[in-house]
Structure 1
Amino acid sequence: MKFNVDSIARRCSRLVGIGGILRDYCGEVKIIFSKALGEADSNLAEMMAVKESLLIFSVSRWNENHKLLIESDLSNAVKWTKHPIQHHDE
């Protein structure tokens, strides 16, 4: 199963929101979420989207017998998720 996640920021402020969509191997939509976060930077918002998708999947009926792939367009989110102890300045 694959969760596509993303964040969005208002141009004139630091107000951000997150969202995601979970699909099965046939592309059928299983779960959609969106959430306002308030003020944050884009890196934090993208990481919160990844975190939210993990939380949602962990309590779903698919978590015991399906693997999860999370797709994000922010390279730092991918790096930090794969290597949470290391610090990345990019």
Structure 2
Amino acid sequence: MYKARIYVNYKPSVLDPKAEVIKNTLARTGQDNVQSVLYGKYFELELAAADKDAAAKQVDNICDQMLANVNMETYRFDIVEEARA
């Protein structure tokens, strides 16, 4: 069993309105040393894959097809083997 931890964020060239709102709010509340904010989505998937490479390939396909808008977003993921019960 493998667990995939997936992080999806806007590409650096795309304006992230939620991150800008958070950054501006932080500045207004006195947290003016915050240089940048990255807002994103987080997913966890458990996979019964043959091996770590197969799990990574499946997660990459899932991200491309449904978890990330590849025109505007980028993603990265970590895969860890879970202890079998």
Normalised TM-score (structure 1): 0.44
Relative CO higher for 1 or 2, CA cutoff 8 Å, sep ≥ 6?
A: 2
Normalised TM-score (structure 2): 0.45
